[in-house]
């Protein structure tokens, strides 16, 4: 797709897009289910990806007929993930350099995330990029998951820009589809952990990258 005009604002997913954190959630899923003598299904992580924590807990409880409450499931996930975000989750290559380059040019930067503040906030602060964001929008603020444009529309609204002015960076198929449905220009971010979805991500997005170095070399703003 040919872009008709330069864009004015950027909306980033966090997990798997800016933060190289997807392995953490695979570990959390594996440990959580192993404690219940359940093998991790191949489709489980993909099924949870567009969901917020509440919806993911309902899905998990129902799929595996677990006796725990949804709040107990979420509490266990939180305990498993907190240490990783506080101490060792890294950024994707060149993500910080790209965010800083946008900030220097006064391009508003927002995040649209299914994550929770107790995870992303310490990670973003530790990695030195917290100050880059003008706002952060969570799935709890909207009615639908990332297969819908709701979260991206809310993020754009916070920045005072129309969808046509914004670029959405996402690493999951529902996220790209939801943003596209809202009229946003979409950039798919993929890596070796997402080889199964690489072709589809590239096919349905306006642009696709494997590293933010590509954005530093050929920007949209």
Tens digit of pLDDT at every position of the chain (221 positions): 445 568 999 999 999 999 999 889 899 999 999 999 999 999 999 899 889 899 999 999 999 999 999 999 999 999 999 989 999 999 999 999 999 999 999 999 999 999 999 999 999 999 999 999 999 999 999 999 999 999 999 999 999 999 999 999 999 999 999 999 999 999 999 987 666 788 999 999 999 999 999 999 999 99
| Residue pair 136/113 in contact by the 8 Å Cβ criterion | yes
- Give CA–CA dist 67/69, Å, rounded: 7
Instruction: Indicate if 150 and 179 belong to the same structural domain.
Output: yes
Instruction: Indicate if 44 and 99 belong to the same structural domain.
Output: no
| Residue pair 123/129 in contact by the 8 Å Cβ criterion | no
Final residue belonging to a domain, choices 71, 87, 103: 87
Instruction: Indicate if 157 and 112 belong to the same structural domain.
Output: yes
What own/partner pairs with CB < 8 Å and gap ≥ 24 does 72-79 have?
73/32, 76/32, 77/28, 77/32, 77/53, 78/116, 78/118
Extract the runs of DSSP E, i.e. beta strands, from the chain.
9-12, 109-113, 135-138, 166-170, 185-189, 207-209
- For the chain, the domain total comes to 2
pTM: 0.86
HSE-CB of 202 using CA atoms within 13 angstroms: 10
Instruction: Indicate if 189 and 208 belong to the same structural domain.
Output: yes
- Structural domain containing residue 136: 9-20+90-217
Instruction: Indicate if 106 and 204 belong to the same structural domain.
Output: yes
Instruction: Indicate if 55 and 108 belong to the same structural domain.
Output: no
CATH number assigned to the domain comprising residue 148: 3.40.50.1000
Instruction: Indicate if 120 and 33 belong to the same structural domain.
Output: no
């Amino acid at each position: 797709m040919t872009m008709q005009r330069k864009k004015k604002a950027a909306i980033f997913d966090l997990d798997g897009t800016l933060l190289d954190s997807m392995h953490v959630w695979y570990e959390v899923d594996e440990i959580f289910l192993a404690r219940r003598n359940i093998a991790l299904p191949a489709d489980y992580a993909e099924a949870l990806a567009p969901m917020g924590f509440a919806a993911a807990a309902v899905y998990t409880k129902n799929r595996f007929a677990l006796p725990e409450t949804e709040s107990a499931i979420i509490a266990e996930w939180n305990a498993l993930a907190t240490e990783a975000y506080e101490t060792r989750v890294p950024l994707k290559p060149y993500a910080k350099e790209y965010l800083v380059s946008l900030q220097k040019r006064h391009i508003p930067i927002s995040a649209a995330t299914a994550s929770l503040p107790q995870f992303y906030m310490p990670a973003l602060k530790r990695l030195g990029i917290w100050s880059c964001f003008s706002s952060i929008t969570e799935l709890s603020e909207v009615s639908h998951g990332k297969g819908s444009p709701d979260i991206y529309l809310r993020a754009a609204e916070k920045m005072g820009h129309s969808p046509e002015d914004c670029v959405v960076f996402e690493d999951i198929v529902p996220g790209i589809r939801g943003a596209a449905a809202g009229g946003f220009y979409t950039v798919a971010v993929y890596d070796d952990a997402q080889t199964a979805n690489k072709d589809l991500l590239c096919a349905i997005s306006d642009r696709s990258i494997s590293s933010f170095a590509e954005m530093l070399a050929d920007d949209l703003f």
